[in-house]
Chains A and B, each alone.
Chain A
């Protein structure tokens, strides 16, 4: 091929890889910094009040308390990336939690099969949301507000009273109370997210969140992508329900309710843009840890637990405002 006649030459050296990586993942960088700050503050408070370093027990319980929220935040992120919002996350957690309470007390084979079935239930819930949004052309916030009510109702029908029990093996794997086994789920989530980002579906989810029109003009099916994103979100919510059941060693058809809002909090703290197209599951995971650490910090700071939500709310606002300001500064410096 002949060389082109005119070359648009570079005017200067390119910015370094690191500089790109940092500015493009500023949300992730901020949440990691926030998490580190939280951990340090937590350790200081712990030493001051308990006169020793936090140990294995604290690590284990923090991890086990965080995992349900981490999955819920992941579910929220998948949907928010498509410019949607999923208010039914709490309902799916209630539902899967209730089903888990009734079905998991069998042998290992039955438990495994039911676990898979419960993930399938999550996928079905997501499918319903996705179809109503993509094909029914309804606003995500209205669809998921309605399905939240439906899922909550079904959950209470299935498990009217808190109860049921979890087989020790199930608890031992998902929320081991003795050793910080849940640590392994962090790299697992990280790897799963990295894989997702590298699949055509992952690219499509980001693309439709960027600009659905432009994405579809490049052959990305907006409907299919939206439905799959809600389904994956449903599966992640089901995971949250399972982890919640394992941690509580019993089922409760209402404990999932709070996760709708906290999943949004964790995703926002993790740098996921509510306007779609920007953010990462890793950020949401760290956001979930920050959310739980803040509760721990308030506890060791001897804050009256009645005031807990007050400080959480203030913290959320402060974090969002700080992220805005830092984002603008980074932007302006380029």
Chain B
């Protein structure tokens, strides 16, 4: 074998991550030109905080897309998480810890159900998570009486609000949380047995099964993680906005999938890194902010958004010809 077949340091995957980060930087520069102060430290901080919500959801989406799945239940798991957080804590710091545990546990449990449907019952991921989204929407609306319940108007506990708004060493705490998630998730995928199994299942579930990997177990845990991160994003969002609202999860489905794909994670599974999804989440958020800086109306943003994603996909997201 010739040396030319060795993998270069900047292989295709790493190149995509780099592109996604570069796109974000270019957009920051464009924003600065349109509206001076856009890329000031405080401007960047504000954008990164918004990006962190997408990025946290995208962590879960990355996990399931790495095994060729998809999680369409993000919107209402997130929304349910947000509402469960305020209604169970009622805005008291004393109840924050059990409320956090309850909310995150709910997310993980719902995700595990998704995984069980996919892995054990053989339901296509699109159908399973779509149905779960409906189930969570119905439960959330029904149990909260359409957000008319007395506890529904409660605020997030001050600690949770502080976690989003206050700074530590010059960075908002929510960004520290995100950095921790980036480190943990990247470590999990790159350095642990579980991460390795995730990639092998995504590459070839049949071969993994025959090599003794517990494919259905891995699948269930990955979907559970996706539910967990959706619920976590819900908590962060009520911390950010103070209160929960209906429909607050809706934008995050599209954005999380877009972020993952822009970051170079292969939609059919097996290849990609969370760092790529992080880059995707940041560039998408900067893009939206730039369009806002242009005073572009909603419809225009929607159109540009679609076109930019298509353009990026055409740039590097080509399906490979052969296996």
Question: Do the two shown chains form a genuine complex with each other?
Answer: yes
Binding site for B on A (CB under 8 A): 85, 132, 136-139, 141-143, 145-150, 152-157, 160, 261, 264-265, 268, 274-275, 304, 306-314, 316-317, 320-321, 324
B298 near A324: Cβ-Cβ < 8 Å: no
Contact of A146 among B70, B134, B309 (CB under 8 A): B309
In Å, the complex CA distance between A183 and B310 comes to: 41
Asked if B123 contacts A145 (CB within 8 A), the reply is no
Chain B residues positioned under 8 Å from A149 (CB to CB): 254, 302-303, 305-306, 309
B238 touches A (CB below 8 Å)? no
Q: Of B302, B304, B318, which contacts A137 at CB under 8 A?
A: B318
> Closest A-chain residue to B138, C-beta based?
A310
**CB-contact partner of B134 in A143, A157, A306, A316, under 8 A:** A316
Supposing A139-B268, A264-B126, A317-B131 touch, asked if A146 and B306 sit within 8 A by C-beta, the answer is: yes
Contact B131 A313, beta carbon cutoff 8 Å: yes
Q: How far does the alpha carbon of A153 sit from the alpha carbon of B298 in the complex, in Å?
A: 7
Collect the chain A residues with CB atoms within 8 Å of residue B122's CB.
Answer: 324
Minimal beta-carbon separation of B247 from chain A (angstroms): 12
Residues of B with C-beta under 8 A to A156: 298-299, 302
* Closest Cβ neighbor of B133 among chain A residues: A313
Instruction: Report whether A313 and B134 are in contact in the complex, using a CB–CB cutoff of 8 Å.
Output: yes
CB atoms of A316 and B267 under 8 A apart: no
The A contact surface, by secondary structure, is: helix
Using known A-B contacts A138-B317, A145-B257, A274-B127, determine if residue A154 contacts B137 with beta carbons closer than 8 Å: no
CA distance A143 to B307 in the complex (A): 10
Distance between Cα atoms of A295 and B128 in the complex (Å) = 20
B43 sits at the interface (CB 8 A): no
Whether A321 and B131, one on each chain, are in contact in the complex, defined by CB atoms closer than 8 angstroms, is no
Q: Is B222 an interface residue (CB 8 A)?
A: no
Is A145 a contact of B303 with CB atoms below 8 Å?
no
Hey, which chain A residues are within 8 Å of B70, CB to CB?
Answer: 141
| Bound Cα distance A154, B306 (Å) | 11
A153 partner residues in chain B, CB cutoff 8 A: 298-306
Say yes or no: is B170 at the interface (Cβ < 8 Å to chain A). no
The CA-CA distance from A268 to B127 in the complex, in Å, is 8
- Determine if B121 is an interface residue (Cβ-Cβ < 8 Å): yes
Q: Which of B131, B254, B261 contacts A314 (CB 8 A)?
A: B131
> Does chain A have a CB within 8 A of B142?
yes
Residues of the B chain whose Cβ atoms lie less than 8 Å from the Cβ of A148: 306
Interface size on B, residues (CB 8 A): 47
**Residues on the A chain within 8 Å of B137, using CB:** 309-310, 313
What residues of chain A lie closer than 8 Å to B301, measured between beta carbons?
153
Q: With the chains together, A317 CA to B70 CA distance in Å?
A: 17
Closest beta carbon of chain B to A207's beta carbon, Å: 20
Task: Give Cα distance in the complex from A204 to B145, angstroms.
Answer: 50
Interface members, chain B 217-276 (any A CB < 8 Å):
254, 257-258, 261, 267-268
- Are A308 and B138 CB-contacts (below 8 A) given A141-B267, A264-B130? yes
> Among the listed A139, A150, A314, A316, which residue makes an inter-chain contact with B127, where contact means beta carbons less than 8 Å apart?
A316
From B72, B135, B142, contact of A306 by CB (8 A): B142
CB distance from A309 to the nearest CB of B (A): 4
Let me know if B142 and A304 touch, CB within 8 A. Answer: yes
Nearest Cβ distance between residue A17 and chain B, in whole angstroms? 31
Q: How far is the CA of A197 from the CA of B34 in the complex (A)?
A: 55
Output the least CB separation between A269 and chain B (Å). Answer: 10
B→A interface (CB under 8 Å): 70, 72, 117, 121-124, 126-128, 130-139, 141-142, 145-146, 254, 257-258, 261, 267-268, 298-307, 309-310, 313-314, 317-319
Chain B residue, CB-CB nearest to A317: B131
Residues on A with C-beta less than 8 A from B124 are 274-275
Q: Which of A145, A160, A316 contacts B254, CB < 8 Å?
A: A145
User: What's the nearest-Cβ distance from chain B to residue A158, in Å?
Assistant: 9
With A138-B318, A153-B301 in contact, do A313 and B117 touch (Cβ < 8 Å)? no
Q: What residue in chain A is nearest B298 (Cβ atoms)?
A: A156
* Seed contacts A264-B127, A317-B131; 7 additional CB < 8 Å A-B pairs: A132-B310, A138-B317, A150-B306, A156-B302, A157-B300, A310-B137, A321-B123
- Which residues of chain A have C-beta atoms less than 8 A from B134's C-beta? 309-310, 312-313, 316
Min CB distance A321 to B, Å, is: 6
B306 touches A309 (CB 8 A): no
CA of A17 to CA of B133, assembled, Å: 42
Q: How far is the CB of A6 from chain B (nearest CB, A)?
A: 38
Nearest-neighbour CB distance to chain B for A143, whole angstroms, equals 7
Chain A residues contacting B254 (CB-CB under 8 Å) are: 145, 149
Which chain B residue has the least Cβ–Cβ distance from A128? B310
Residues on A with beta carbons closer than 8 Å to the beta carbon of B121: 321, 324
Q: Which residues of A have CB within 8 Å of B318?
A: 136-138
In the bound complex, residues from chain A placing their C-beta under 8 Å from that of B117 are 317
A181–B21 Cα distance when bound, in Å, is 57
CA distance A139 to B138 in the complex (A): 31
Chain B positions within 8 Å of A157 at CB level: 299-300, 303
Contact for A138 among B127, B130, B135, B319, CB less than 8 A: B319
Q: How far is the CB of B186 from chain A (nearest CB, A)?
A: 24
Q: Is the CB of B306 within 8 A of A313?
A: no
How distant is the Cα of A137 from the Cα of B317 in the complex, in angstroms? 9
Least CB distance, B77 to chain A, in whole angstroms: 12
Contact of A307 among B132, B141, B261, B307 (CB under 8 A): B141
B146 touches A306 (CB 8 A): yes
Most buried by A among B122, B130, B306, B319: B306
**Interface contact B138-A145, CB-CB below 8 Å:** no
**A145, A306, A308, most chain B CB atoms within 10 A:** A306
Residues of B within 8 A of A307 (CB): 138-139, 141-142
Q: Supply 20 A–B pairs (Cβ within 8 Å), ascending by A.
A: A137-B319, A143-B313, A145-B254, A145-B257, A147-B306, A149-B306, A152-B302, A153-B301, A160-B299, A274-B126, A304-B142, A306-B138, A307-B139, A308-B138, A309-B138, A310-B137, A310-B142, A312-B138, A316-B127, A316-B131
